[in-house]
A = this chain, B = another copy of it.
Amino acid sequence: MGQQGLSALLLSTEAEIRYYSGFHTPFWQSPTRPWFLVIPRQGKPIAVIPGIGAACMGITWVEDIRTWPAPQPDDDGVSLLADTLNEVAGPAGAVGTPMGHETHVRMPAADFDRLRTQVGEGRFEDATGIVRAQRMVKSEAEIKKIAHICALASDTFEAFPRFVQMGDTERSAFAKMRIELLKGGADEVPYLVGSSGPGGFSDVIKQPTNRILGAGDMMMLDTGAVFDGYFCDFDRNYAFGHATDEMCRAYDTVFAATEAGIATAAPGATAADLFHAMADVMAASGASEGDVGRLGHGLGMQLTEWPSHTAHDKTVLEPGMVITIEPGMSYGDGFTMLHEENIVIRESGAELLTRRAPDAIPVIRR
């Protein structure tokens, strides 16, 4: 904040506020009320929040908790927040708030405009860089939580052929997967997508349907399960009855691309280096790039965080960064093959947090 000349930092989203305060609640599901954390250049954070959250914020390290009786549409915290910012930053100090890539301001846009007018339009600056730099490098405590959920989801994926079979629908297979993750100790499973289809599938982000799984199908499940507020994010693929040669070739190519990504992941390499390492393997097999737009990303309090493994992301990897290695390619009749592993960057290179996917596509035969 000193380097950027900021007198205060304003945070408004779940991950930002939890990261700096420890405030942990699923209450963010409700879009009704805005929540704010103000970080002075020196001193402890100040919470400016709806009264309903005072008890929950009271168990964090934040001591200065200012509340208003939300919802109060005419002035839903805006004046209280403006007063707090003026108090903390003085009448002219710059206020940083994340306004850049992968961020949003979680309050009504009209209220944010009003806040900027009230505090002084020119005083607001983009502070994405500060938050991004801190959040990208995880502490050992954070890594431990991610490792825990990755191990648990690895167990569940390995057990998948024992609890899902032909005759299950996509919907029942997804429900079973969620139940097994919870039984294993996941706190919640906010993300579970996937697809199935004869010979493969194209859509990798859709909700499960009532489609019945049968011989010749391929299925992919991609899960973001959570332990203590930290995500895993990886997928596994399964063939039903038998695997076609085309499926096997695509699986092998993407498996090899994953190996190349893991081998490249070390301090000093860039996100773009990871992209090229994986893309080169797939290109050598004549694969065409899919529509995913990147071959992996950061991971932590959110399912996806900075950086992005694209040709243009020059973020330099550092020890402590937790990222996914996620090559995907198109094959056959518009099908998509996607693999994913989660790793932490160590001085010596990549340390796997997920248990490596099988080196040949698993076939569920019953």
Tell me which residues from 135 to 180 in chain A have a Cβ below 8 Å from any Cβ of chain B. 171, 174-175, 178-179
Chain B hits for A59, CB < 8 A: 203, 206
0/1 per residue, A45-60, Cβ < 8 Å to B?
A: 0000011111110110
Interface 0/1 of A25-51, CB less than 8 Å to B: 111011111000000000000000011
> From A328, which residue of chain B is reached at the shortest CB distance?
B52
The listed residue with most B CB atoms (<10 A of its CB), out of A31, A202, A312, is: A31
Contact across chains for B69 and A293 when beta carbons are under 8 A apart: yes
A178→B182 contact, CB < 8 A: yes
Whether a CB of chain B sits under 8 angstroms from the CB of A103 is yes
A207 contacts across to B, CB distance below 8 A: 24-26, 187, 229
On whether A30 and B304 interact (CB within 8 A), knowing A179-B182, A206-B25, the answer reads yes
For A70, list chain B residues within 8 Å (CB): 293
Known: A52-B293, A293-B50. A31 touches B103 (CB 8 A): yes
| Complex contact B178–A32 (CB within 8 A) | no
A100: chain B residues at CB < 8 Å are: 73, 108, 110
* A302 with B108: CB separation less than 8 A: no
Whether B293 contacts A193 by the Cβ 8 Å rule is no
A112 interfacial by beta-carbon distance below 8 Å: yes
A191 to B97, CA, bound (A): 28
A175's nearest neighbour on chain B, judged by CB, is B182
Q: Are B109 and A103 in contact (CB under 8 A)?
A: yes
Contact residue among B13, B67, B71, B189 (Cβ-Cβ distance under 8 Å from A101)? B71
Q: Looking at the complex, which one of B32, B182, B304 makes contact with A304 (CB distance below 8 Å)?
A: B32
Interface residues of A, count at CB 8 A: 82
Q: Is A294 an interface residue (CB 8 A)?
A: yes
CB-defined contacts of A183 to chain B, threshold 8 Å: 175, 179
Could you give 19 example pairs across A and B, Cβ below 8 Å? A25-B206, A25-B207, A26-B190, A29-B190, A29-B224, A29-B303, A31-B305, A32-B297, A33-B293, A52-B292, A54-B291, A71-B101, A99-B108, A109-B112, A171-B187, A175-B183, A175-B185, A178-B182, A188-B189
* Extra inter-chain contacts (16) besides given A32-B101, A104-B104, A171-B187, CB under 8 Å: A24-B206, A26-B190, A27-B205, A29-B303, A55-B204, A56-B205, A59-B203, A69-B291, A71-B101, A73-B312, A76-B101, A105-B105, A187-B207, A187-B208, A188-B192, A207-B229
- Seen from chain A, the residues whose Cβ lies within 8 Å of a Cβ on chain B are 13, 15, 24-27, 29-33, 50-56, 58-59, 67, 69-74, 76, 97-110, 112-113, 126, 128, 171, 174-175, 178-179, 182-183, 185, 187-193, 202-208, 224, 229, 291-294, 297, 302-305, 308, 310, 312
